[in-house]
Chains A and B, each alone.
Chain A
C-alpha cells in the first residue's frame, strides 16, 4: 500500500479510537453521575403529603386567646427526632372558629412571638411587627403572616401541616 495512504488510514483509525474512548468515558461518567445528581435533587420533585394534625381539644382553648401549639410534620423520617416538631400560633376566634398563623416571619423565616398584652406578633431577628390579624404593622416585612388551614373535628382542633412559607 502507498505509505501516504497507510499513514492517512492510521490517522483516521487514531481519530476514531480517540473519539470512541472519549464517548465511552462520557457515557460511563453519565451512568455514574446522573443518578447521583438525581438523588441529590430528589427534594425538588414530588409534593410532600399534608395531613391534619390534632393540637388539642376545643375546650382547651379560650376565646380570644392566642397560644402556640405543637404538632408533628406530615411524614417525619424515623431519625428526625425533635426536628419533626413544628409549631403554629393558634387563636380561638369564637365558639367554633380558630385561626392558625405560621410561626415563620415573612422577612427571613425567623420565629415570630405573640406578645399578648400588646396584641402583636414580634420578630426577634430584625424587629418586624404584625398586627393581631397577621397584617404588616412595622419593620422590614414583605407581606402579612400566612395562615394555616385549621378545622374542628370530633371536638379536636386540627391544623393542616404546611411547608415553611418561603417568599
Chain B
C-alpha cells in the first residue's frame, strides 16, 4: 500500500528518483573529515532560519519597542532565552564554519577547473553570511547596536563620492531614529536570506554537476583538457556512493555542531542586553560581537594616514581577491606545491587571531573606570608631590597611564617613569603633550603641572 503510493508519487513527481540519484551519486574515495565544513555551514544556516523564524514571531522590529520585546523574549517567553542563545551561537558557528570551509577549499585548490563557479557562488555566500552577522548583531537593539550603526555609517562615510549617500542609507536618514531598525530587520530576515537560499541552491547544483573534488595529490596538476576524463575514470574505478559512505561524516559532524550550539545556548546563554537604545546616553563603549572584533582592532591600530584607505579599500580588495582566485584554475592543487597559498591562509588566520586578541584587550581605549591610586601604591611622598597623586586621578592622567597596575593602557605605564625621564622632561611632556597625548598647558595650572611632575619623579 505504502509502496504503491510511493511509486505513484515518484511517477508523477520524479522526486524519489532525483533524491536517490543525488544521494547515491558516486564521489571520490577517501575524502575524509576535511569535507564536512560546507554541509555543517548549511546546517548552521538552516538552524538560523528555524530559530530566526521562531524569534520573529515575538520580536517587534520597531526602533521604539524592539528592546522591550527582546527583554520579553530573554526573560519571560517560554524557551525564549534558549532560542536567542541558539540563534547567537548558530550565527557564530556559521561564520566560523564558512571561514574554515573557504580556507579548506582554497588550501586544496578545489576552485580549479571546472569548479570556478562553485568558488564564486561560495564567495558570495561568505559575503552574505558576514552581512547577516552584522545586521543580526544590530537587531539586538540595545545601546551597543545603536552605536554600531553609527560607527558603520561613519565608516561608509569615508568612501569618496558615495560615502554620504551610503551613510544616509544605513541610518535611513541623517540620524538614528524610527526608520533605522525596521530596514535592518527587513534586510536581515527577508532580503539577504532570500539571496542566500538562491545561492545555496546554485552552489549545491554546481557541486552535483561537477562532483566534489578529489583529494589533491602533488604531481597531479589540473589540465582542463584532460581533467574531466580523469575525474570520471576515478569515479568509475574507485568511486563510492555519497550516501552513506561520505555522508555519514557530514551527519556526525553536523550533529556535533548542533549539539555544541545547544549546549552553549543552555549553559552560556545569549549575549546580555545592554542599556536601552537611547542615543542621548553617552556612557557608551560600542564594540562589535566577536566575529568583527578583529576588524574593530584593526581600525584602532592602523596608522592614521592609512585609515581611510583601509576602511574603503580593505573590503574592496578582499572582495576582488575572492572573485579573482579562480583565474588561477590550472596546475597543481596540492598545498605542498602551493606554499604561498598555505602561507596566505596561515597569515590571514594569524592576523585575525592577533587583532582579535588585541580587540579583546582594547588597550587603546581610555579606562574611564580607573580608581584613585591606593595609598599602598602612592607610598610616602615629599611635600611638593603630595597633590600629584590626587591630580593624577582627578585630571584624567590615570585614564591612559597605569601606575602599579591601576589605570589605563592607552599610554606608557608610569610605574618607573623617573627611571627614564628627568623631572624637567616630565614637565615638558605634560605641558606640550606627545604624538598621542594632549598638551595640558591649557587645562592645568603651572602649580598643578609641578605637583604632578614631582609625584611622577618619585616613580622609580
Contact = CB atoms under 8 A, between A and B. Distances in A.
B178 interface: yes
B393 to A, nearest CB: 9
B157 A167 contact: yes
B40 to A, nearest CB: 34
B307 A140 contact: yes
A125 B366 CA distance: 8
Interface in B14-62: 62
For B167, B276, B366, B395, the residue with the greatest tally of chain A CB atoms inside 10 Å of its CB is B366
A59 interface: no
Contacts of B435: 138
Interface stretch (B112-120, B125-133, B281-289): B281-289
Contacts of A73: 175, 177
B209 to A, nearest CB: 27
A117 B394 contact: yes
A138 B436 contact: yes
B292 to A, nearest CB: 13
B330 interface: no
A79 B282 contact: no
B278 interface: yes
Interface stretch (B146-154, B196-204, B335-343): B146-154
A110 B284 contact: yes
Given A79-B64, A127-B365, A131-B438, A110 B286 contact: yes
B163 interface: yes
B64 A127 contact: no
A69 B150 CA distance: 19
A41 B168 CA distance: 9
Interface in B232-286: 276-286
B300 A80 contact: no
Given A83-B177, A87-B279, A122 B300 contact: no
A100 to B, nearest CB: 14
Contact of A118 (B154, B180, B300, B443): B443
A110 B151 contact: yes
A115 B165 contact: no
B169 A125 contact: no
A112 B300 CA distance: 16
For A118, A140, A164, the residue with the greatest tally of chain B CB atoms inside 10 Å of its CB is A164
A138 B63 contact: no
Interface in B308-360: 308
Interface string A108-122: 111111010111101
Contacts of A76: 177-178
A87 B143 CA distance: 14
A82 B395 CA distance: 33
A165 to B, nearest CB: 9
Interface string B85-120: 000000000000000000000000000000000000
B78 to A, nearest CB: 26
Contacts of B280: 68, 70-71, 85-87
Contacts of B364: 126-127
B431 interface: no
A78 interface: yes
A27 B321 CA distance: 36
A38 interface: no
A32 to B, nearest CB: 15
B345 to A, nearest CB: 29
Nearest to A47: B174
B378 interface: no
For B168, B183, B435, the residue with the greatest tally of chain A CB atoms inside 10 Å of its CB is B168
A123 to B, nearest CB: 8
A129 B438 contact: yes
Contacts of A68: 280, 282
B206 interface: no
Contacts of A139: 436
A84 B65 CA distance: 12
A86 B175 contact: yes
B453 interface: no
A132 interface: yes
B390 to A, nearest CB: 10
B285 A124 contact: yes
Interface string A51-83: 000000000000000001011010011111111
Contact of B395 (A103, A118, A125, A167): A118
A150 B44 CA distance: 52
B385 interface: no
A163 interface: yes
B460 interface: no
15 contacts: A43-B168, A71-B280, A73-B175, A77-B178, A79-B64, A81-B62, A81-B65, A82-B276, A82-B278, A83-B181, A83-B278, A122-B396, A127-B364, A137-B439, A167-B163
Interchain residue pairs A-B with the least CB separation, the first 3: A81-B64, A77-B178, A163-B174
Given A117-B395, A117-B396, A140-B300, 18 more contacts: A48-B174, A68-B280, A68-B282, A73-B175, A79-B64, A80-B178, A81-B64, A85-B280, A110-B286, A111-B147, A118-B440, A125-B285, A126-B365, A127-B364, A137-B433, A137-B438, A138-B435, A139-B436
